[in-house]
Amino acid sequence: MNWRARLLIFVPYAWLLVFFLVPFGIVLKISLSDIALAIPPYVPTMKDGFWTMITGLDLENYAFIGAGAVFATFALIVLAVGMFQILYPRVRRALIPDARYGIFDSAAVALTALAVAVVNIAVLVAVLSFLFPILSDFVNIPDFLYFAAYLSSLKIALISTFLTLLIGYPIAYGMARSAEHWRPTLLMLVILPFWTSFLIRVYAWMGILSTEGYLNQLLLNIGIISDPLVILNTNVAVYIGIVYTYLPFMVLPIYAALDKMDDSLVEAAEDLGCTTLSAFWLVTAPLSKPGVIAGCFLVFIPTLGEFVIPSLLGGSNTLMIGKVLWEEFFNNRDWPVASAVAVILLLILIIPIVLFQRNQQGDES
């Protein structure tokens, strides 16, 4: 490798090291420091000498925000999913021996999956309640705010991902089925909001959802309701905001998967005796799965750390970790705790990110 190639690699490499990796190292260090009335507002710093600084670091902030509980919860979730993945195929094979694939068989399969999941969770809960006295020290939580915020972020991200899929799939399907000369225009219409300011798109809903907003006016005028609905500053508004802003991320990968699909496959299925509905369920749906998975991750991952939507559309009881971090930093000026919150959030995110990358690579090969 000659010096030119080395230089070419060096410049962006050094940039990312300095402006990405080093800052993250600093976050890690500060998360281990203590809050202080000083500038910067934490101790120890390099001014105290390198050794004093190293020995002054501790895990106090992590204990404070209940990192143990957060990890225990996530470990449980991973465990439950893992158990489900191992148990479910066996149970299914035992219950439904021959592979028939009608709509009713699919329903039976879905019910089996549900039953396995319920049994799974019940077993985990039973085991845990037995073990809890041992674990209680480990998951001792001084301040429930953070733990609740992590869980509530997870819940909001999961539900809104599901809602986005529910709304996004029919749109992508309609686009893929529309006439060829319409598709570029429809595609552009889906991409256009992506280029428009995120902040403005969230802001647009404030006027619609508020108590005197356009939606309430409309409903009052029609006479469906007699008292205005309270939507803004609740979790419902947060869901609407997330679905609205992240919809293009769901539609695009699903559309890409459906557009790639060979039309004659559905025709072949119908030729072989499928109804339109069962042809969709047995051919189109499985083939669009990579797009669905990619879309879900693209919505889920950024939603988990979302700040703008909960702070504009959510209320005081909307707990999301991005908002908590922001308030910890700007309002409470507790930098060490904010850093610890950030580190834990990143560690949680690693699981879906790794899964997403594996899905993408599997899709390519």
Partner 1 sequence: MRKFSWFNATSLTFGFAFLYLPMLILIIYSFNESRLVTVWAGFSTKWYGELFQNEAFLDAAWVTIKVAFWSSTLATILGTMAAYIMVRTGQFRGRGLFSGMIYAPLVMPEVITGLSLLLFFIAIGLDRGVITIVLAHTTFAMCYVSVVVTSRLVSFDQSLEEAALDLGCTPFDAFRSVTLPIIMPAVISGWLLAFTLSLDDLVIASFTSGPSSTTLPIKIFSAVRLGVTPEINALSTIMIGLVTIGVISASLVSRSMSIKARADERRAEQG
In the set 146, 147, 150, 205, which binds partner 1 (CB under 8 A)? 205
Phi, psi of 315 (to 5 degrees): -105, -170
**By CB under 8 A, is residue 275 in contact with partner 1?**
no
Q: Which amino acid is at 117?
A: A
The interface region with partner 1, picked from 108-116, 127-135, 208-216, 287-295 by CB under 8 A, is 208-216
Q: Which residues, 6 or more positions from 252, have their beta carbon under 8 angstroms from its beta carbon?
A: 172, 190, 191, 295
In the region spanning residues 51 to 110, those forming contacts with partner 1, defined by CB under 8 A, are none
Tell me the three state secondary structure of residue 127. Answer: helix
Question: In angstroms, what is the minimal distance from the CB of 190 to partner 1?
Answer: 7
In the set 206, 256, 285, 287, which binds partner 1 (CB under 8 A)? 206
Tell me the three state secondary structure of residue 42. Answer: strand
> Which alpha helices (DSSP H) does 50-102 contain, by range?
50-55, 60-64, 67-95
Phi, psi of 35 (to 5 degrees): -70, 145
The interface region with partner 1, picked from 76-84, 109-117, 178-186, 286-294 by CB under 8 A, is 178-186
Task: Say if CB 334 and CB 52 are below 8 A apart.
Answer: no
CA distance 61 to 143: 11
In the set 99, 134, 200, 272, which binds partner 1 (CB under 8 A)? 200
In the region spanning residues 148 to 167, those forming contacts with partner 1, defined by CB under 8 A, are 167
In the region spanning residues 27 to 56, those forming contacts with partner 1, defined by CB under 8 A, are 27, 30, 40
Q: Which residues, 6 or more positions from 286, have their beta carbon under 8 angstroms from its beta carbon?
A: none
The interface region with partner 1, picked from 19-27, 103-111, 144-152, 220-228 by CB under 8 A, is 19-27
CA distance 250 to 327: 30
x/- string (CB under 8 A) for partner 1, residues 304-333?
Answer: xxxxx--xx---------x--xx--x----
**By CB under 8 A, is residue 302 in contact with partner 1?**
yes
Question: In angstroms, what is the minimal distance from the CB of 74 to partner 1?
Answer: 16
CA distance 23 to 116: 45
The interface region with partner 1, picked from 50-58, 81-89, 156-164, 298-306 by CB under 8 A, is 298-306
Question: In angstroms, what is the minimal distance from the CB of 255 to partner 1?
Answer: 11
**By CB under 8 A, is residue 5 in contact with partner 1?**
yes
**By CB under 8 A, is residue 114 in contact with partner 1?**
no
**By CB under 8 A, is residue 233 in contact with partner 1?**
no
**By CB under 8 A, is residue 17 in contact with partner 1?**
yes
x/- string (CB under 8 A) for partner 1, residues 211-230?
Answer: -xxx--x-------------
CA distance 282 to 269: 8
Question: In angstroms, what is the minimal distance from the CB of 56 to partner 1?
Answer: 16
Question: In angstroms, what is the minimal distance from the CB of 26 to partner 1?
Answer: 5
Q: Which residues, 6 or more positions from 156, have their beta carbon under 8 angstroms from its beta carbon?
A: 235, 238, 239, 242, 303, 310, 320
Closest to 334 measured CA to CA, from 72, 150, 141, 60: 60
Tokens describing residue 53: 């600084």
In the set 83, 109, 119, 208, which binds partner 1 (CB under 8 A)? 208
Point out which residues pair with 42 in neighbouring strands: 35
Question: In angstroms, what is the minimal distance from the CB of 93 to partner 1?
Answer: 34
